[in-house]
Chain A
Amino acid sequence: MNRFIVLWFAVGLIGFAIIPWYTTDDSFWSFVWLTDGYPFDADYAPALLQIFVHGKIWLAPLILFFLAVVPVLRRDASGQQQARYLAIAGIGGLAYLFLQGFTIGIGGWEYAALESLFGPVERQFGLGYGAVLVAGAFLFLLTQSFAARGYVGGDLFVAGSIGLIITLIVAFVFFPVSRILMSAFQDNDGAFTLLLFAEKISDNKIWGLRCISENVSCGVAWNSLMLATTVGFGSTLLGLAFALVTTRARLRFGKAFRVLTVLPIITPPFVIGLAMILLFGRAGVVSQFMDWAFDIEPSRWIYGFTGIWLAQMLAFTPIAFLVLIGVVEGVSPSMEEAAQTLRADSWTTFTTVSFPLMRPGLANAFLLGFIESMADFGNPFVLGGNYGVLSTDIFFAIVGAQNDQGRAAVLAIVLLVFTLTAFYVQRRWVGKKSYVTVTGKGDSGLHAALPKRLTWAIFAIVIPWTAMMLVIYCMVMFGGFVETWGRDHSFTWRHYAEAFSITSGEFGLVWTGSAWNSFWTTITISAIAAPLTAAVGLLTAYLLVRQKFAGRLLFEFGTMLSFAIPGTVIGVSYILAFNIPPIEITGTGIILIICFMFRNMPVGLRAGVAAMSQLDKNLDEASLTLGANSFTTVRKVILPLLRPAIAAALVFSFVRAITSVSAVIFLVSADYHMATAYIIGRVENGDYGLAIAYSSVLILVMLAAVSLVQLLVSERKLGRRSATTKPAGDDPPGQKKIGAVA
Chain B
Amino acid sequence: MTIKSNASPVLFDTVTKAYGDVVAVDAISLSVAPGELVTLLGPSGCGKTTTLRLIAGLEMATSGHIFIGDTDVTKLPATARDVSMVFQSYALFPHMSVSENVGYGLKVSGIKKAETRDRSQDALDLVGLTDLGQRMPSELSGGQQQRVAVARALVLEPQVLLFDEPLSNLDAKLRRRVREEVREIQQNLGLTTVYVTHDQEEALAVSDRIVVMRNANIAQEGTPRELYERPADTFVADFIGDANIVDAQIIAVDGDDAQVSIGNLTMAMPHRNAGPGPVQLAIRPEAIHPIVIDADNTGNGDGGSLSGTVSKATYLGSHFEYTIETALGALFAIDPRIDAPVLEGQAIGIELASRGVTIIGDRS
B87 touches A150 (CB 8 A): no
Residue of B nearest to A724 (CB): B94
Partner of A621, one of B78, B92, B95, B138: B78
B60 touches A626 (CB 8 A): no
Q: Which stretch from A98-106, A287-295, A413-421, A628-636 is at the chain B interface?
A: A628-636
Chain B interface size band reads 20 to 34
B152 touches A722 (CB 8 A): no
Give CA–CA (A150, B76) in the complex, Å.
10
In the complex, which residues of chain B have a beta carbon less than 8 angstroms from the beta carbon of A627? 79, 105, 108-109, 156
Residue of A nearest to B86 (CB): A622
In the complex, which residues of chain A have a beta carbon less than 8 angstroms from the beta carbon of B288? none
Known contacts A637-B93, A723-B95, A724-B94, A623 near B104 by CB under 8 Å: yes
CB distance from B143 to the nearest CB of A (A): 16
Known contacts A619-B93, A720-B136, A723-B95, A625 near B84 by CB under 8 Å: yes
Give CA–CA (A621, B149) in the complex, Å.
13
Partner of B95, one of A150, A632, A640: A640
B89 touches A616 (CB 8 A): yes
Binary contact track B68-82/A, C-beta < 8 Å → 1, others 0: 000000010111010
Give CA–CA (A625, B91) in the complex, Å.
11
Known contacts A621-B78, A723-B95, A626 near B105 by CB under 8 Å: yes
Q: Please list 14 pairs of residues, one from A and one from B, whose beta carbons are closer than 8 Å in the complex, sorted by A's number.
A: A619-B91, A621-B58, A621-B85, A626-B105, A626-B156, A627-B79, A627-B108, A627-B109, A630-B79, A641-B95, A720-B95, A720-B136, A723-B95, A725-B94
A624 contacts chain B at the CB level, 8 A cutoff: yes
A618 touches B136 (CB 8 A): no
B57 contacts chain A at the CB level, 8 A cutoff: yes
CB distance from A541 to the nearest CB of B (A): 19
Give CA–CA (A153, B104) in the complex, Å.
23
A154 contacts chain B at the CB level, 8 A cutoff: yes
B108 touches A154 (CB 8 A): no
Within residues 8 to 24 of chain B, which ones have a CB less than 8 A from any CB in chain A?
A: none
In the complex, which residues of chain A have a beta carbon less than 8 angstroms from the beta carbon of B156? 626-627
B88 contacts chain A at the CB level, 8 A cutoff: yes
B203 contacts chain A at the CB level, 8 A cutoff: no
Partner of A641, one of B60, B94, B109, B162: B94
Most chain B beta-carbon neighbours within 10 Å: one of A155, A624, A629: A624
Binary contact track B92-108/A, C-beta < 8 Å → 1, others 0: 11110000000011001
B138 touches A629 (CB 8 A): no
Can you add 17 more A-B contacts, CB < 8 Å, to A621-B87, A641-B94?
Answer: A150-B75, A154-B75, A154-B77, A621-B56, A622-B91, A622-B152, A624-B58, A624-B77, A625-B78, A625-B84, A626-B152, A627-B105, A628-B79, A636-B104, A720-B94, A723-B137, A724-B94
B83 contacts chain A at the CB level, 8 A cutoff: yes
| A interface residues with partner B (beta carbon < 8 Å) | 150, 153-155, 616, 618-619, 621-630, 632, 636-637, 640-641, 720, 722-725
Give CA–CA (A253, B77) in the complex, Å.
55
B104 touches A628 (CB 8 A): yes
Give CA–CA (A625, B136) in the complex, Å.
21
Give CA–CA (A720, B97) in the complex, Å.
12
Give CA–CA (A554, B231) in the complex, Å.
49
B87 touches A622 (CB 8 A): yes
In the complex, which residues of chain B have a beta carbon less than 8 angstroms from the beta carbon of A636? 104, 108
In the complex, which residues of chain A have a beta carbon less than 8 angstroms from the beta carbon of B105? 626-628
CB distance from B247 to the nearest CB of A (A): 45
Most chain B beta-carbon neighbours within 10 Å: one of A154, A625, A627, A637: A625
Give CA–CA (A328, B98) in the complex, Å.
41
In the complex, which residues of chain A have a beta carbon less than 8 angstroms from the beta carbon of B77? 153-155, 624
Give CA–CA (A640, B101) in the complex, Å.
14
In the complex, which residues of chain A have a beta carbon less than 8 angstroms from the beta carbon of B93? 619, 622-623, 637, 641
Give CA–CA (A724, B60) in the complex, Å.
27
Known contacts A153-B60, A722-B138, A723-B138, A624 near B79 by CB under 8 Å: yes
In the complex, which residues of chain B have a beta carbon less than 8 angstroms from the beta carbon of A637? 93
In the complex, which residues of chain B have a beta carbon less than 8 angstroms from the beta carbon of A623? 93, 104, 108
Residue of B nearest to A726 (CB): B89
Give CA–CA (A405, B102) in the complex, Å.
63
In the complex, which residues of chain A have a beta carbon less than 8 angstroms from the beta carbon of B94? 641, 720, 723-725
CB distance from B95 to the nearest CB of A (A): 5
Give CA–CA (A188, B84) in the complex, Å.
66
In the complex, which residues of chain A have a beta carbon less than 8 angstroms from the beta carbon of B58? 621, 624-625
In the complex, which residues of chain A have a beta carbon less than 8 angstroms from the beta carbon of B162? 625
B87 touches A618 (CB 8 A): yes
Give CA–CA (A154, B92) in the complex, Å.
26
Residue of A nearest to B152 (CB): A626
Give CA–CA (A637, B104) in the complex, Å.
10
B95 touches A625 (CB 8 A): no
